[in-house]
Structure 1
Amino acid sequence: MENIKQSHVEVRGLKLHVAEIGSGPKSVLFLHGFPEIWYTWRHQMIAVANAGYRAIAIDFRGYGLSEQPSEPEKGTFHDLVEDIVALLDSLSIKKVFLVGKDFGAIPAYLVAAVHPERVIAVVTLGVPFVVPGPSAVQNHLLPKGFYVTRWQEPGRAEADFGRFDVKSVIRNIYTLFSRSEVPVASDDQEIMDLFNPSTPLPPWFSEEDLATYASLYEKSGFKFALQVPYRSLTVDMGINDPKVTIPALLIMGEKDYVIKFPGMEDYIRSGTVKHFVPELEITFLPEGTHFVHEQLPEKVNPLVINFLDKQSF
């Protein structure tokens, strides 16, 4: 970990926090989800660097050590897409591998769809190809206490999270979202109330990991994180019939709660997703949860590296 260099890069008027290791001719840009941050990729960054790649992970704008936009409540996925392209320009990277986890999969696929000349291949974990818009997540098919629905309501998550310190919020979400059940609160509960204080951290997530996450979110708070992805998930990107025509790999844990989103498992297993990503390979890991890359790096890292190694540059 001590070999990972930390810096800030000016991107579209904001300083983005960039972590980097390795110096190979091919670059891999890692895109985090929520409640993650650049540090979520610690295992993968070291592995791909050792395999001869330049590994880069960022904190998205408004997250961790990256600067906040002036109007976070107006943020959309479009901002993340443009940030990624501008970052590649700033780092003089013509073409890149993109690896996205959770909502980080969305801008990874969008950059590949809109700027295919900049992307060699895409790897996503936990979330398949999804485009923001009114039908991105079928909230209406889940109970009204569905966590996405709750967090999309202005002020509600802020009040829920605000009852705890940042470290407790991260602990609660990591523990809750490691389960295979979709997080759904009853009418007299908030999402944080679903957490049982006697539940230990997942065995693959240490107190030191928790402290690192907490320190980064203490810097940024959750304001932009609630806007992007949750409150901007229904904002149409204006992309007609998006296609990702480059090679792609989807890694899903069989115990990932996202598989239980309405229609999600059929969308993946039936191959419908390949209508949008024709060159998609899909791998399921039987014991994998939503945080499969942190839980099972010894399985995820070879899958990622073998996929990267197969691609021509």
Structure 2
Amino acid sequence: MQTFTQTFIETNGIRLGVAEQGAGPPVLLLHGFPETSYAWRHQLAALSSAGFRAVAPDMRGFGRSDCPAEQAQYTTLDIIGDLVGLVEALGEQNAVVVGNDWGATIAWQAALVRPDRFRAVVALGVPMMDRAPLTPSKLFPVMQQAWFYTHYFAQPGYAEREFEADVATTLRKLYFWASGDAGPRDINTPNPFGLVPREAGLLDALPQPAALPTWLSEHDFEVFVSAFAASGFRGGLNYYRNLDRNWDLQAAFSGLQVQTPALYLVGEYDTGLAIPGMQEIISMMPKLVPGLRGSQIIQGAGHWLQQEAPERVNTAVIEFLHGL
């Protein structure tokens, strides 16, 4: 039963749709792609019961929030600006920020550049990473027959046409194959976060699941389908289209460490763990995040961690929050 409230908040020149529940110290919950604030439905209730004010925005370009027309308006700093304005609009001085997938990337960077506004960070799936030696477009592989999924996403119109042709099929495939229900990750497991054949689309290599993943009800699935049928996928894809620009902007913060308290959680079957070098990046995090209070692997879960293992995520996050 839905017990959170839904409102709109004006911030940083745009309007954000926001789901909120509870009273107490604020906790911002940042979703990833392709998700909306509804991905945090389990956490809104749990955090409220634990004495916190849980606030989950539809990030710019998603759900009920505005979707700026210009591709360049989706950099990490644009999103952080939205969050700074959101904290102020809530009448708060600061907040803990929790994120999954793209939301984790934004959460890390928000704590890095504005620790005065974001006093602690919890990241799901995506670890804190140092600035790469090359721009992402040069770092990720490009081959004659295939390209890395971020290159595919970077082509305006390509992924939109594929994903929007049948929103339900798109989400059914992505949610299942990136989740723990797809099982352990190896070279024989279809991986939506990998190479895309140039003569096909990202979804073509993914079989149609026989059923929804066990953690996603038909009702909850329809909420996501309705959201993306209305908004389309362009806003979310524009985050990927600013990867090189984010790299440029990150030069200004090179050498900074995340000084706030931090917690990292990742699903055992998260597709990101199969990316070469990711295990080494995770092991190096304490150098970038001296306030890291723990890294936990959630057994049996995949990329949509807060939806797949809500009780375990809630327990870990609330314990961390009470320790601040």
TM-score if structure 1 supplies the norm length? Answer: 0.91
1:94-148 C-alpha deviation (Å, 9 max, x unpaired): 1111000001111211111111111221001010113677455841299944322
The CA distance in 2 between the partners of 1:59 and 1:292, in whole Å, is: 18
Aligned residue among 195, 205, 214 for 1:203: 214
User: Counterpart in 2 of 1:150?
Assistant: 152
Aligned residue among 214, 230, 234 for 2:244: 234
1:268-313 C-alpha deviation (Å, 9 max, x unpaired): 1x3x1221111212111121211121111121110010011000xx
User: Counterpart in 1 of 2:307?
Assistant: 294
The CA distance in 2 between the partners of 1:120 and 1:2, in whole Å, is: 29
* SS of match in other structure, 2:301: coil
Whether contact under 8 Å (1:22, 1:49) holds in the other structure is: yes
Whether contact under 8 Å (1:132, 1:233) holds in the other structure is: no
User: Counterpart in 2 of 1:262?
Assistant: 276
Change (3 A) 1:116 1:221: same
The CA distance in 2 between the partners of 1:2 and 1:296, in whole Å, is: 19
User: Counterpart in 2 of 1:215?
Assistant: 226
Structure 2: unaligned runs, 5 residues or longer: none
Alignment of 1:124-163 (within 5 A): 124-130=123-129, 134-135=134-135, 138-140=139-141, 144-162=146-164
RMSD of the TM alignment (CA)? Answer: 2.0
Residue 54 of structure 2 is aligned to residue 43 of structure 1? no
* SS of match in other structure, 2:241: helix
The CA distance in 2 between the partners of 1:135 and 1:73, in whole Å, is: 16
Report the Cα offset of residue 49 of structure 1.
Answer: 0.6
User: Counterpart in 2 of 1:307?
Assistant: 320
User: Counterpart in 2 of 1:274?
Assistant: 286
Which amino acid in the other structure matches residue 263 of structure 1? G
1:26-81 C-alpha deviation (Å, 9 max, x unpaired): 11000000011100001111111100100000001111000121424542111101
User: Counterpart in 2 of 1:5?
Assistant: 5
Which amino acid in the other structure matches residue 259 of structure 2? T
Report the Cα offset of residue 206 of structure 1.
Answer: 1.4
Q: Give the paired residue count.
A: 306
Question: Percent identity of the aligned residues?
Answer: 37
User: Counterpart in 2 of 1:250?
Assistant: 264
* SS of match in other structure, 2:260: coil
TM-score if structure 2 supplies the norm length? Answer: 0.88
Residue 177 of structure 2 is aligned to residue 173 of structure 1? no
The CA distance in 2 between the partners of 1:43 and 1:136, in whole Å, is: 34
Structure 1: unaligned runs, 5 residues or longer: none
Change (3 A) 1:132 1:83: farther
The CA distance in 1 between the partners of 2:73 and 2:82, in whole Å, is: 15
